[in-house]
Structure 1
């Protein structure tokens, strides 16, 4: 049931509108909803400029290209007055770190074990934005992280959580497991109280990083991050990082999984963002033999499909090289003649590692 706002004061009217939006968002499957001003000044644009100026973004040239549009929400849309910031919980059923114990199987980042969250979240955002426009006639635009909007600092302003020392959003209710999306609107809605940093002296997310990708709290060197190396980086991964990958073939959840706030995550099972059973620690031997059609079929509607078969098999071969399982040499040898140069390089490296492990 919607609330009549015709007899309310302007302030109470916008508070009532905000409550309606929150109820609708939760009904559509969002687990968190907060409100922030889209017009207030913030320092995050300068932080991003420094990040790019220091080259910490690595080969992600799109960050430099979209720098000005990321500098402030109104840089994306000058008429925006408010941001409705939404979160979807994707907390895993088990500790992702246990995946690392099975060296002959693949560890895939939790967010990529289901359908592409960009598509799922964007569909819900469009439903919410369309409902808002029909209800109040306001202009709206939707954003998920494929668009150049800095959603994590916006989410902190909206009270959904705070940016932890691992630079990701941390929620008191959902830990480090929230997908984010936003609806910018011309409605001038009262903002929620911003969340503050509750990390204290904890360093769990920093200390667990296999590659030392955090030069300091709240600072990430993407060039050392396993998520960057396995997803964003084309060509061979530098030799120094290959042993550190372990069996991680797509992304890395270590810093997220180490967060103590995860123990407070709670949500009804039916609302969870479900993983596919086939992507929970699949055998490396099965993944290594994928050709392009079988790769596309297996990862239909998955974010993994974006990196392509060659980069994916490259990652699988590094994991095989780290497995110590000499039996996997049978799938490595044919790939030493693969048409793709990077796959051949990874296969040669894996073969050498397996041979060395067998001797020792």
Structure 2
């Protein structure tokens, strides 16, 4: 088709239809102008909120300029794909401190390749209609502000937890972008409907949401358990609880997530070797087992040492168990970094044992007093 005979309005409608046929729940189109995001991005970097994610600062304002990432880009096709599995089991796992809580997005197949392949297929469909189309798919893999682009494309609004929300699907979805060099008509942003709700801000275990839609990654459990390579600051270890990979708390309390749709992708369903497993079971995996059990999973990229680090912290937060202490002690000498967390966890277990002993002694003393007074035991 010649560029002079293209009906871009019809093409945009077809793109949205093709996208949904490929499994995307939403498809929107926006231009590349993100100038109004540059100051907020620079302030975020200047405040050091990116922590040790040095690539955030290295790419600087390119993140707000998609046409620098792929010269000639005129439009961004933004897509979403639901990932909430049918057997999510949020509260059940968080309420059982001996179980391992893994962020819902990471319990199935790594989403990067799946979404990128679907976006590539969408680009190829467009190429069949447009001569000399330039396109490039991205899925959380390039210096690009995907959430502001998704907001401009009408996929939802930016919640106070900084994630994209919409009234129909909540926030349990992945985002992806297809950069193209054709002047498609753009979509309109939707109204922000968070109102006065601050549930996400007040529920964050570590106070990482420092302002509306502003996250201090250095305090975020997802950053601490995934992105941070070294020692988790002691001030955050207790708050981490049994979360060994990521955190969903800000999404769990969001009213709009009551209406979230379950994923249609079986690849995103929970893998049994990761779902609601005992901390001790996962902690005893050697590196070969870890690599085998996490094959095709986003979890694999943190490596075995950080996996053990995260579980050690969770074991330190769990109620006392001789088995936990024995397991923690068995890992001593693995590495200097891990040893810091192992020693902390062992000390925590000792404190839990003392507290439990003190509680039992108090209960025994109370029963003795009741018997001496001749009162009923339930008095």
Deviates more, 1:211-220 or 1:264-273: 264-273
CA contact (8 A) 2:245 2:299 kept: yes
Cα distance in 1, alignment partners of residues 122 and 300 from structure 2: 28
Q: Which residue of 1 aligns with 2:304?
A: 309
Q: CA deviation at 1:129?
A: 1.1
Cα distance in 1, alignment partners of residues 85 and 295 from structure 2: 21
CA deviations on 1:68-107 (whole Å, 9 max, x unpaired) are 3202221212311111111000124335243211111100
Equivalent residue for 2:343, pick from 320, 345, 348: 348
What RMSD, in angstroms, separates the aligned Cα atoms of the two structures? 1.8
Cα distance in 2, alignment partners of residues 353 and 267 from structure 1: 38
Q: Which residue of 2 aligns with 1:278?
A: 273
Instruction: Calculate the TM-score normalised by the size of structure 2.
Output: 0.88
1:337 aligns with 2:333: yes
List runs of 5+ in structure 2 lacking aligned partners: 356-379
Provide closer, same or farther for how the CA distance between residues 78 and 268 of structure 1 changes in structure 2, counting only shifts above 3 A.
closer
Q: Which residue of 2 aligns with 1:43?
A: 36
CA deviations on 1:261-290 (whole Å, 9 max, x unpaired) are 112223575678322122222111111112
**Structure 1 segments of 4+ aligned residues over 4 angstroms from their partners:** 267-272
Cα distance in 2, alignment partners of residues 298 and 255 from structure 1: 28
Cα distance in 2, alignment partners of residues 117 and 18 from structure 1: 25
Provide closer, same or farther for how the CA distance between residues 270 and 232 of structure 1 changes in structure 2, counting only shifts above 3 A.
closer
1:107 aligns with 2:97: no
1:61 aligns with 2:57: no
CA contact (8 A) 1:165 1:205 kept: yes
Cα distance in 2, alignment partners of residues 320 and 175 from structure 1: 32
Q: Which has the larger radius of gyration?
A: 2
Cα distance in 1, alignment partners of residues 246 and 225 from structure 2: 6
CA contact (8 A) 1:215 1:221 kept: yes
CA deviations on 1:218-243 (whole Å, 9 max, x unpaired) are 21111100001111111211111110
Equivalent residue for 1:79, pick from 63, 67, 72: 72
Q: Which residue of 1 aligns with 2:20?
A: 26
- Equivalent positions of 1:1-360 (< 5 A) are 13-38=7-32, 40-93=33-86, 94=88, 96-137=90-131, 138-267=133-262, 269=264, 273-326=268-321, 327-338=323-334, 340-360=335-355
CA deviations on 1:268-313 (whole Å, 9 max, x unpaired) are 7567832212222211111111222111111101111111100110
CA contact (8 A) 1:104 1:320 kept: yes
Provide closer, same or farther for how the CA distance between residues 285 and 175 of structure 1 changes in structure 2, counting only shifts above 3 A.
same
**How many residues align structurally?**
351
List runs of 5+ in structure 1 lacking aligned partners: none
CA contact (8 A) 2:158 2:165 kept: yes
**Residue 52 of structure 2 aligns to a residue in which SS?**
coil
CA contact (8 A) 1:176 1:257 kept: no
Cα distance in 2, alignment partners of residues 75 and 198 from structure 1: 32
Cα distance in 2, alignment partners of residues 118 and 142 from structure 1: 11
CA deviations on 1:164-200 (whole Å, 9 max, x unpaired) are 0001111222101110001111111111111221100
CA deviations on 1:302-332 (whole Å, 9 max, x unpaired) are 1111111001100000000000131322211
Q: Which residue of 1 aligns with 2:360?
A: none
CA contact (8 A) 2:112 2:140 kept: yes
Cα distance in 1, alignment partners of residues 245 and 265 from structure 2: 26
Instruction: Calculate the TM-score normalised by the size of structure 1.
Output: 0.93
